[in-house]
Chain A
Amino acid sequence: MIAPLRRAHRRILVTLSLGLPLLFVSSMFVRTETPRVDLPAELGLGRVALPEAPIEPDPLLYWSAAPVRIGQSLPGDARLLGAVRSGLWLAWSPELAELEEGTLFVYSLLDQEVTALIGEGTDEGKAQ
């Protein structure tokens, strides 16, 4: 009465017992990851160490001779040095190393406020 059904069940079980472990193990073996490679130096990406990666929209790196506090608007003497990303990568101006003492800070153009300070002078968070 149910012998054919049980035979089918048996065949299914044998197939799954062989096939599924094979499928699972194979799929673990074929996992790929995109390799990580350092970018060529010619692309001209400089670096400044930041406390943490930017979370505000359109963070820009500025310099000002005057002291700056977080949350304030852009100081009148602020000079744009470039855009901030990945906490470290920065598209910067080649004149950064020549700046006199002042404050490096991050300013969000869209939120219109200073969001992070890098250092009071050029000693801290030196460009690499």
Chain B
Amino acid sequence: MPESDSNEFYVGYHPTAPLGVARRTRSFVIAALLCTVGLALVLAKGFGPLPRATFEFGSLRTFEGTISTTPYPALHVPRPGVIDGAPWTSRYHIVAPFKFGADAAVAEFDGKHVRLKGTLVHRDGRTMIELVPESLEEIPGLALSPEGPQSLGEHSLIGEIVDSKCFLGVMNPGNLKPHRACAVRCISGGIPPVLCVRDTDGRAEYFLLVGENGEPMNKAVLDYVALPLEITGEVERLGDQLILRASAESFRIL
């Protein structure tokens, strides 16, 4: 029991505290404020570095190109100066606002030359468009036939499933456990799931995930999002996009 010999007695509704009490409390307050400052700085430093990932929020651009809808909605834009061997269209995945895919919005425009407005999401050379759905319109022009898939054989890849929209820039960080629930929500809503694979130098490559028959995998991958995974399947190249065809049964949690 704090048996104090002092005659000091603190009463909160008196105007001031006795001197000894005031001094002790003041010491605590100063120590606490110093800890507050220290902790703010330590914690600010403690959170890990974040890569550059951009969401051009509030800024709309206009795009023209050809729509394809398999495996996930995309806009193909021709690249100038093409020589043999290099992929000749740029492929921008299209998603709807918030946590939804754009499948419904673009379905009737498959294979057509269109103009649309949208917001760019991009990271590390990968580009995605968040579509303004009502802006999509068919326009006269030559519809492109984008490159067909090129098989690169069966491979086992180790990485983490992320939702492409958040990961490319709408959220930062857009991966790992704290973001898992959001990634599940996005993928469940139609955002294309992607396997993010890192090499020993930390560089990332992204594999669009599709089922064995090339179908979208949104629902099938939900239980595996953010987990360290090994997936075995056929790797395909579709333009500059690498695709991994696998069934969820081949997913192995590490």
Contacts and interface: CB of A to CB of B under 8 A. Distances in A.
Interface of A: 32-40, 42-45, 53-55, 57-60, 62, 74, 78-89, 91-95, 109-110
Contacts of A34: 158-160, 198, 228-229, 254
A92 B125 contact: no
B122 interface: yes
B49 interface: no
A92 B83 CA distance: 11
A44 B152 contact: yes
Interface string B151-178: 0110101111000000000000000000
A36 B202 contact: yes
B153 A35 contact: no
B197 A78 contact: no
Closest 6 CB pairs of A and B: A85-B125, A34-B228, A93-B85, A86-B203, A78-B81, A83-B240
Contacts of B69: none
A44 B122 CA distance: 23
A51 to B, nearest CB: 14
B120 A110 contact: yes
Contact of B90 (A36, A45, A53, A109): A109
Interface of B: 52, 54, 61, 77, 79-88, 90, 92, 120, 122, 124-127, 152-153, 155, 157-160, 197-205, 228-229, 235, 237, 240, 242, 254
A79 B52 contact: no
A127 to B, nearest CB: 14
A89 B120 contact: no
Given A34-B159, A36-B200, A57-B120, A92 B235 contact: no
A91 B150 CA distance: 14
30 contacts: A34-B159, A34-B229, A35-B158, A36-B199, A36-B202, A37-B197, A39-B199, A42-B152, A42-B155, A43-B235, A45-B205, A53-B124, A55-B52, A57-B54, A57-B120, A58-B125, A60-B90, A78-B80, A78-B81, A80-B81, A80-B83, A80-B88, A81-B83, A83-B87, A83-B125, A84-B125, A85-B126, A91-B87, A91-B240, A95-B85
A71 B126 CA distance: 21
Contact of A82 (B80, B159, B200, B240): B240
